[in-house]
A = this chain, B = another copy of it.
Amino acid sequence: MKRVTIKDIARIAGVSYATISRALSGSREVSEQTRARILEICKQEGYRTNALARSLSCNKTNVIGLVVPDITNPFYAELALEIETSARRLNYNVMLCNSVHYEDNIGELMDFLISHQVDGIILASSHNEARACLHEYRQVIPSVLVGASVSDNDDFCVNAVSVDNRAGGRMAAEYLIGLGHQDIVYLGFRPASITHQLRFSGFQRAMQQRSLTPTVLENHESSSSLQIGYQLGKQLFAQGTSSTAIFAATDSLALGVIQAADEFNLRIPEDISLLGFDNISYAALPKITLTTIDQRKPVLAETAVKHLVSVIEHPDDDGYAHHMIRPALVERRSCCAPGRQPD
């Protein structure tokens, strides 16, 4: 398992090892023939440059750290792949970490990445502490928050990229209203999350403009899971709701609602329409076919990476920005006009 180094190559090529370095890094200060000879030898000897040593010397690793809550969550898995793709295009590699095991001290994870000398960090999280954390680290490492909204009026200075949650909420309400629904439940509102506050406010405002009021079922957990959607769904159906449509604050919640509806023999969309948010891959599965608001992960990812790389490459200016991505409606088969069969 002995690695062959630049020195070994130098010795067998009979040149100094600076020359090897140059030949490898594509410098023009080497004659074409020696370069060719060197490359040949490298290939034969199975030389691989030691990225650690290079980074140590250059003070640059070209890797960006990516923190997601849980890669098992399809939303984050898809986002992660998109981010990796975008990063590679800009010549960066990504080092992925799940924050599952860290929970309330993401700082520890940040420290881990920093000690591995990542050039910057993308933090994907909908938790509120996330932005406080990035704020703390803003003098230490370039970073951008992705997927979560930040408040316009607090003292946290963080770079962020997220879907326009208020617009998404509005879009959801308008779609359902447009279909003819008036008695609508907003399921899974998380009052503690800014992301969800915005989503809810957009939704509510759109309804108010038609003098409508949603029934709201709050979620006081710190995440939105299928299980919670299931519980809220059961709770709703058990009391015999009069509503004709449900807007689930996330697709995961919607999946739980589907399960609950199944148990109560409620058909979707014939008996009740269901609209989700996120457009996770599950939503497209047969028999699920969830109509939902798409976060446009590819755009989210590309914007986040470009944003981060730009702050990495301009360490001097200490401004910050929040990019908003427009959400998009994806129509499948879980919504129809009230009291009617689907088209």
Contact = CB atoms under 8 A, between A and B. Distances in A.
A28 B7 CA distance: 36
A155 B141 CA distance: 49
Contacts of A96: 96
Interface string A203-239: 0000000000000000000000010000000000000
Nearest to A59: B3
Contacts of A55: 52
Contacts of A48: 111, 114-115
A130 to B, nearest CB: 20
A117 interface: yes
Interface string A82-113: 00110010000101101011000000000110
Contact of A285 (B101, B112, B117, B282): B282
A255 B140 contact: no
A96 B95 CA distance: 7
Interface string A38-68: 0000000010111111011000010000000
B98 A95 contact: no
A115 B81 contact: no
Interface in A115-154: 115-117, 139-142
A328 interface: no
A259 interface: yes
Contacts of A12: none
Given A48-B111, A51-B115, A52-B117, A88 B72 contact: no
Nearest to A74: B74
A100 B84 CA distance: 11
A50 B117 contact: yes
A315 interface: yes
A227 to B, nearest CB: 11
9 contacts: A50-B115, A71-B77, A72-B77, A72-B78, A85-B101, A88-B101, A96-B96, A259-B286, A285-B288
Interface of A: 1, 46, 48-53, 55-56, 61, 70-72, 74, 77-78, 80-81, 84-85, 88, 93, 95-96, 98, 100-101, 111-112, 114-117, 139-142, 226, 255-256, 258-259, 262, 281-282, 285-288, 315
Given A1-B315, A255-B285, A259-B287, 17 more contacts: A1-B142, A46-B140, A51-B115, A52-B52, A53-B56, A71-B80, A71-B81, A72-B74, A72-B77, A72-B78, A72-B81, A81-B98, A259-B285, A262-B286, A282-B282, A285-B288, A287-B288
